[in-house]
Structure 1
Amino acid sequence: MLMHVRPGVFLRRDPVADAAPVVFDIPRSGAEYPRAFRATAPMADVQRSISMYVEEVYGNVPDAGATWLYACFPNVFIDANRHELDIDPEAIEGEWPAALQPGAKTKMGIGLIPMVCAGTTRLYSGKLPVAEVRARLDDYYWPYHNELARLLNAQRERHGIALHMSCHSMPAIAAAGQADAGQRRSDFDLGDRNGTTCGAEVVDLVGSVLRGFGYNVTNNKHFIGAECVRKHGNPQNGIHSLQIEMNRSLYMDEAARTRRPELETVRAHLTELARQLAAYACSRSAA
């Protein structure tokens, strides 16, 4: 298996053999804290923001012909699944050179540059300098998205199609402040931004495979899909981007933050999902 590294930014594992135009990206599970990250919050709270073990659960997809792309940096440092202008102007020191677009998540403190962790714990004692925020974008956010775009565009140009699965995890029970607060979430929630980032046939295939393993699967119920699929999905031009939210209780003890034995079973299921997506993509390849 070929591995490509941009230290601190991303790891990429290429398919072992019979490469298919399929990419699984894991943007919010990194745990390599950059030296520039100087949070004052307790590390135990900081780490609760990370979607732990997602990169492991999808770790065998290269065996099925897919590319695996993993953001090494923690989303609590800069969140690759947020828009580059989704910044709270009150959280930065200095003037941003463009009009900012803070959304609902930013108002909750979890935008592009999170300002809280573990729900309510403040990450920093004060504001962040504009230069520091720009460095996070230039050195981490854009290199990751540029690599993802390069992979998808190259596959689409060669094959006429590229399938992009953006891999995330969600708490089993929605926290206070969420639209589904207190509810038990499905095993998998598939987000295509209400039909705009991925063709229905691809969404149906993913749902069918996962239901075949006995999972409860919903569509656009808990999360419709955020920046990774919005930025890269272009089904009219052959790039199909789908956000896959996986219930953490399937593979980890959320309270202890440890792996459960079932992780291996889920990993086998997701490797089979990759295999079926690879077969689908290859059957529609123009190469």
Structure 2
Amino acid sequence: MQDWLTVHEGSAPLVIGLPHTGTDIPPEIEARLTSPWLARKDADWWVDRLYDFALDMGATLVRTGVSRSVIDVNRDPSGASLYPGMTTTGLCPTETFDGELLYRPDQQPDAAEIEQRRATWFDPYHAALRDQLDRLRTRGPVVLYDAHSIRSVVPRLFEGELPQFNIGDNDGATCAPELTQAVQAACVVSGDSLVVNGRFKGGWTTRHYGRPDAGLHAIQMELADRGYILDPVGPVSPQNWPSPYEPERAQAMRSHLRRVLTACIAFADSHR
């Protein structure tokens, strides 16, 4: 196993993907960036810590430590947009969510380098994810839960304030409706805002693996990170972002997410 790739194997019928919690950037790439802080700005900050309780539930976790600015393992490897006509970032992003340039002039990766990065990081991450799904699916249906977070306000990507819970199943294509309903019901208990298939309908991972007819149910959860860390109002800077992880602040969200993951496991168990 590569040192940037972490796999915790569990026995429950639940695999959690953590594609955007990494912040590692190889020195030879970092030297070409306009700012190392900008290149880490759009990480799903602390989501791996937020969900670490899932190990005690028997979930399998697959995580890459590599920054999404090096390669985004939740994008279509062909380069096709997941949201045609809408602003989004690519397989090897060249700008932040806010439109700031990541690379110095003439330092962006070319097609050959993008392919090399894909072979180095993208392909092994998905091979590990597939191995774990195949391992668990021999016993019956399995749920792939892709875990994400984002700042509550990113005007270039969406209007206004993002709902707290953003559930995506690509308009019902990637999992049974009963699973989406169960996850939604678990979120409703929190009293916080939620949406199903809103701005975020599920990234490449959810869309690629979700085959409910074959017993593989994939669903994405995009959290507005105000639910577990201090989310600054207005532009962020190295002085106020990322906000530190505070266990006390995150405690309520962890309770909500435990309820969500319990619903995922119960759904899979009920179909075995």
Name which of 165, 174, 178 aligns with 1:197: 174
The structural deviation recorded for 1:12 is: 1.4
The structural deviation recorded for 1:56 is: 1.0
| TM-score normalised over the length of structure 1 | 0.83
Map 1:15-30 to 2 at 5 A: 15=10, 19-30=11-22
Name which of 99, 104, 122 aligns with 1:120: 99
Instruction: Output the CA distance in 2 between the equivalents of 1:281 and 1:102.
Output: 31
Query: Is structure 2 residue 53 aligned with structure 1 residue 60?
Result: yes
| TM-score normalised over the length of structure 2 | 0.88
2:133 match: 152
Instruction: Output the CA distance in 2 between the equivalents of 1:273 and 1:190.
Output: 11
Map 1:118-197 to 2 at 5 A: 119-124=98-103, 125-126=105-106, 127-156=108-137, 158-176=138-156, 178=157, 180-181=158-159, 183-197=160-174
Q: Does the CA-based 8 Å contact 1:65-1:274 persist in structure 2?
A: no
Name which of 23, 32, 44 aligns with 2:24: 32
Unaligned runs of 5+ in 1: 87-100
Instruction: Output the CA distance in 2 between the equivalents of 1:118 and 1:110.
Output: 7
2:7 match: 12
Instruction: Output the CA distance in 1 between the equivalents of 2:82 and 2:171.
Output: 18
The structural deviation recorded for 1:36 is: 4.0
Structure 2 vs 1, CA of residues 28 and 105 (structure 1 numbering), >3 Å: closer, same or farther?
farther
Q: Does the CA-based 8 Å contact 2:38-2:102 persist in structure 1?
A: no
The structural deviation recorded for 1:276 is: 3.3
The structural deviation recorded for 1:105 is: 7.4
1:238 match: 215
Q: Does the CA-based 8 Å contact 1:30-1:71 persist in structure 2?
A: yes
Letter of the 1:40 counterpart: L
Structure 2 vs 1, CA of residues 210 and 109 (structure 1 numbering), >3 Å: closer, same or farther?
closer
The structural deviation recorded for 1:227 is: 0.2
Map 1:41-56 to 2 at 5 A: 41-56=34-49
Instruction: Output the CA distance in 2 between the equivalents of 1:217 and 1:54.
Output: 18
Q: Does the CA-based 8 Å contact 2:20-2:43 persist in structure 1?
A: yes
Instruction: Output the CA distance in 1 between the equivalents of 2:86 and 2:146.
Output: 24
The structural deviation recorded for 1:107 is: 8.5
Map 1:79-118 to 2 at 5 A: 79-86=72-79, 101=80, 108=87, 110-117=89-96
Instruction: Output the CA distance in 2 between the equivalents of 1:129 and 1:208.
Output: 45
CA-based RMSD of the aligned residues comes to 2.1
Instruction: Output the CA distance in 2 between the equivalents of 1:103 and 1:279.
Output: 30
The structural deviation recorded for 1:271 is: 2.6
**Percent identical:** 23
1:270 match: 257
Q: Does the CA-based 8 Å contact 1:61-1:270 persist in structure 2?
A: no
Instruction: Output the CA distance in 1 between the equivalents of 2:14 and 2:255.
Output: 17
Q: Does the CA-based 8 Å contact 2:21-2:64 persist in structure 1?
A: yes
The structural deviation recorded for 1:254 is: 2.9
Letter of the 2:51 counterpart: Y
The structural deviation recorded for 1:123 is: 1.5
User: Which ranges of 4 or more aligned residues in structure 1 deviate by more than 4 Å?
Assistant: 102-109
Q: More displaced, 103-112 or 229-238?
A: 103-112
Letter of the 1:230 counterpart: R
Unaligned runs of 5+ in 2: 233-239
Q: Does the CA-based 8 Å contact 1:64-1:272 persist in structure 2?
A: no
Structure 2 vs 1, CA of residues 212 and 123 (structure 1 numbering), >3 Å: closer, same or farther?
same
Letter of the 1:197 counterpart: T
Name which of 206, 214, 220 aligns with 2:191: 214
